[in-house]
Chains A and B, each alone.
Chain A
């Protein structure tokens, strides 16, 4: 390696360079993902059809994409909120499970008046997600335990708890699979009459608008940035550091909890073992692609939802595992991470008078 070549951090990368390296990373990631699909047996000619036409340009496909985007927006916001204050929420799936348990509890036990049952289930789901993340925050702040590990391990425990319930008290005796009975209609979102779409999708858009307002138009986002970048300076200038950290973290957990209930009350209508698969990586990829901005979270969620829709089709027609979606997400994330190098750093060659 010639030692006359060296790296420098760019002080001001410039918008064009940033956008370009980001887009090139995204394109390479998507191209690699497409190549993987072809390699596992999807005809190359069908890719455009499956990923563009069948997801956006047909009414059924678009309805499916929009439906899939609902929970993705919520987990994307969840991850974005946490990233804003530099909290790695790796427990997105665990929070979804907790939210799902809360929602199922309300639905199966007919808690509260029927008219309020759905809102009550959703509120409890939000609270359950927040309850899940709260001890992880305490462990981090008080005891210095990495939230990456605590949220992830707790997530696994949450899944085991779901299995415990599904193989135990909540199992539908009439079914050979470990699933609950169907939720009563008052615990389901109303259908919008377009494919599978339901009012829950609107709820997730409302959540995005609220998050946008808080993060972009109110002091909350500004405080969060200060706290995330420099907690010491934020403390010394008298910002409400504890409240911001607590609020953002709990909201992050709550949004993922809400996503869990949204999936159940919106599309599944019962608790099974197949709820949260892959949502962790989706949440991280969405938040990262969107740079933790709520508006872009919605855009990235819809794009990813299309991949989910297409993935379901591929699973049926080409017997491609849905794991390919996780693979594509990992590939895109890695390729953008690498591409960022070209906007963050510049390579220099120093010119010696003699060599």
Chain B
């Protein structure tokens, strides 16, 4: 594992940049545990201070330090993303592997359901969920809803891998050896599906974070819990752009773009490492 990481860092520029960016942002987010003030406190500091030696990224119109707000915000946003990713991976793996292994009628039924889910527009459904829940909406509920909407593409991918494993020799051996279906799936097939899970997880994380930003920018989440989108929401509420408080909006945008860039570079370089086809095309270099 460490050897792979070292090789990737040394020979894959995209991975190295992505790794440094993501790690840097992660450490920055981690710093919020040592913040000098609670992230929910408002009007603690003088409002609307531009970036200075004392307040590096300035303060908001609500008297918060942009730097420490961002640190908490990125942490919360990433936590949301990772929760969605783990939940939706569980669904995708379960549906994909069962569908691929059982085949036949089960496969057809599960994949029809899968394709139906793909055709449903996510955003309006999430907005409807928020609308009917309103004040009882909390981030875990939102994460669960997002996870329910975010597993379909990947279930198809995992299914196709399992489908090809089903006819392999070792599967037949396992069946003759009397292993049960869950045993075969978990012990024999899961290791082969792992790379796909890992790669789709990266993409899913990016999608989930994007979703969180979108919803909280509109104020459709717990607005008192700092998130990247939530910061932009409050900045809009206070008309920061018109008032010239540019640092309230610019720094969160820069942070989110850097985070996306880092995660995306990690995702494509890991995919390249896993995928034998693109590996082959690299050999010519």
* A and B physically associate: no
